[in-house]
Structure 1
Amino acid sequence: MTAPSRRTLLTLGLGAALPSSAPRAAATAGPDWTGLATALRGELLRPAAPGYDAARLPRNLRFADAARPEAVARCADAADVAECLRFSRRHGLRPAVRSGGHCYGGWSSDAPLVIDLAALDSVRVTEGQAELGPGTPLMTVYAALARHGVTIPAGSCPTVGLAGLALGGGHGVTSRAYGLTCDSLLSAEVVLADGRTVRCDPDHEPELFWALRGGGNGNFGIVTSLRLRTHPAPDCTVFQYSWDWPEAGRALAEWQRWAYAAPDRLWSNFHVWTRPDGPSVDAGGILLGPAEELRQLTAPLLARTGRTTSERVVTRPYLDTMLAYAGCSTDPTPAGPTPADGDPADRIPTARECLDQERRAFAAASHFFDDFLPDRALTELRRFAERRDSVEASISFTALGGAVNRVPAADTAFRHRSSVLLAQLIAEWPADADPAPRLRWVADARTALAPYANGHAYQNYRDPTLTDWRIAYYGEHLPRLRAVKAAYDPDRTFDFPQAV
Structure 2
Amino acid sequence: MGNVKLTGRIVVPGDSDYELAREEFNTRYDLYPCVIVFCEETCDVVNAVKWAKEKCVPFRIRTGRHSYEAYSSLDDGLVIDISEMKSFRVSKDKKLISVQAGALLLPLYTELYKRGVTIPGGTCPSVGLAGLSLGGGWGMLTRQYGMLCDTLLALEMVTADGTVVYASEKKNSDLFWACRGGGGNNFGIVTKFLFRAIPVNKVSIFKIVWDWKGFKQVVDAFQNWAPFTDKKLTGILDIYTKEIGELKSLGEYLGPEEKLRKLLKPLIESYPAKEVVIQEVPYIDAVRIFGGLMPGMEEYDIGHGDPDAHPFKNTGAFANELLPSAGIKILKHFLANSPSVENKVQLQALAGNVMKQSPADTAYVHRKALFSLLYITKWQEKEEARKNVKWVERMRDELLPFAEGAYVNFHDNCIENWLEQAYGSNLPRLREIKTKYDPENVFTFPLGIPPL
Q: TM-score range by the shorter chain?
A: over 0.9
Shift of residue 327 of structure 1? 2.4
Query: Which residue is 2:38 aligned to?
Result: 74
Residues 196-215 of structure 1 correspond to what in structure 2 (within 5 A)?
196-215=163-182
For residues 13-46 of structure 1, what are the alpha-carbon distances to aligned partners after superposition, in whole Å with 9 as ceiling and x for unaligned?
Answer: xxxxxxxxxx9x9xxxxxx8xx734xx1x11111
Residue 306 of structure 1: which of 268, 271, 286 is its match? 271
Residue 414 of structure 2: which of 456, 465, 468 is its match? 465
Residue 392 of structure 1: which of 342, 347, 355 is its match? 342
Question: How far apart in 2 are the matches of 1:436 and 1:279?
Answer: 24
Residues 1:440 and 2:390 are matched in the alignment: yes
Q: Is residue 363–residue 427 contact of structure 1 (8 Å, CA) maintained in 2?
A: yes
Shift of residue 151 of structure 1? 0.8
Shift of residue 279 of structure 1? 3.7
Query: Which residue is 1:262 aligned to?
Result: 229
Q: Is residue 340–residue 377 contact of structure 2 (8 Å, CA) maintained in 1?
A: no
Residue 48 of structure 2: which of 84, 89, 104 is its match? 84
Q: Any unmatched runs of 5+ in structure 1?
A: 1-22, 26-31, 332-338
Residues 1:185 and 2:152 are matched in the alignment: yes
Residue 490 of structure 1: which of 412, 425, 439 is its match? 439
Shift of residue 314 of structure 1? 1.9
Question: How far apart in 2 are the matches of 1:44 and 1:351?
Answer: 17
Question: How far apart in 1 are the matches of 2:215 and 2:246?
Answer: 8
Question: How far apart in 2 are the matches of 1:69 and 1:389?
Answer: 33
Q: Is residue 340–residue 378 contact of structure 2 (8 Å, CA) maintained in 1?
A: no
Question: How far apart in 1 are the matches of 2:69 and 2:382?
Answer: 20
Query: Which residue is 1:326 aligned to?
Result: 291
Residues 1:474 and 2:423 are matched in the alignment: yes
Question: How far apart in 2 are the matches of 1:351 and 1:72?
Answer: 15
Residues 1:352 and 2:316 are matched in the alignment: no
Question: How far apart in 2 are the matches of 1:351 and 1:174?
Answer: 25
Shift of residue 422 of structure 1? 0.1
Q: CA RMSD in A?
A: 1.8
Q: Is residue 212–residue 247 contact of structure 2 (8 Å, CA) maintained in 1?
A: yes
Name the larger-Rg structure.
1
Residues 1:414 and 2:364 are matched in the alignment: yes
Residues 1:456 and 2:405 are matched in the alignment: yes
Residues 1:423 and 2:373 are matched in the alignment: yes
Q: Any unmatched runs of 5+ in structure 2?
A: none
Shift of residue 389 of structure 1? 4.4
For residues 472-500 of structure 1, what are the alpha-carbon distances to aligned partners after superposition, in whole Å with 9 as ceiling and x for unaligned?
Answer: 10011111111111111111111110110
Q: Is residue 244–residue 341 contact of structure 2 (8 Å, CA) maintained in 1?
A: no
SS in structure 1 of the partner of residue 236 of structure 2: strand
| Closer/same/farther in 2, CA of residues 124 and 376 from structure 1, 3 Å limit | same
Residues 1:405 and 2:371 are matched in the alignment: no
Question: How far apart in 1 are the matches of 2:262 and 2:253?
Answer: 12
Q: Is residue 5–residue 51 contact of structure 2 (8 Å, CA) maintained in 1?
A: yes
Q: Is residue 183–residue 408 contact of structure 2 (8 Å, CA) maintained in 1?
A: no
TM-score (norm 1): 0.86
Query: Which residue is 2:240 aligned to?
Result: 273
Question: How far apart in 1 are the matches of 2:338 and 2:122?
Answer: 33
Shift of residue 347 of structure 1? 4.3
Question: How far apart in 1 are the matches of 2:175 and 2:102?
Answer: 20
TM-score (norm 2): 0.95
Question: How far apart in 2 are the matches of 1:416 and 1:391?
Answer: 31
Q: Is residue 57–residue 109 contact of structure 1 (8 Å, CA) maintained in 2?
A: no
| Closer/same/farther in 2, CA of residues 71 and 148 from structure 1, 3 Å limit | same
Question: How far apart in 2 are the matches of 1:404 and 1:101?
Answer: 26
Q: Percent identity?
A: 33
Question: How far apart in 2 are the matches of 1:356 and 1:60?
Answer: 10
Shift of residue 374 of structure 1? 0.9
* Residue identity opposite 2:237 in structure 1: F
Residues 140-155 of structure 1 correspond to what in structure 2 (within 5 A)?
140-155=107-122
* Residue identity opposite 1:484 in structure 2: I
SS in structure 1 of the partner of residue 337 of structure 2: coil
Shift of residue 449 of structure 1? 1.5
Residue 316 of structure 1: which of 273, 277, 281 is its match? 281
Shift of residue 280 of structure 1? 2.3
Question: How far apart in 1 are the matches of 2:89 and 2:446?
Answer: 35
Q: Is residue 234–residue 289 contact of structure 1 (8 Å, CA) maintained in 2?
A: no
SS in structure 2 of the partner of residue 282 of structure 1: strand
Question: How far apart in 1 are the matches of 2:402 and 2:292?
Answer: 33
Question: How far apart in 2 are the matches of 1:57 and 1:384?
Answer: 31
For residues 247-283 of structure 1, what are the alpha-carbon distances to aligned partners after superposition, in whole Å with 9 as ceiling and x for unaligned?
Answer: 11011111111111111110101111115x3542121
Shift of residue 383 of structure 1? 2.4
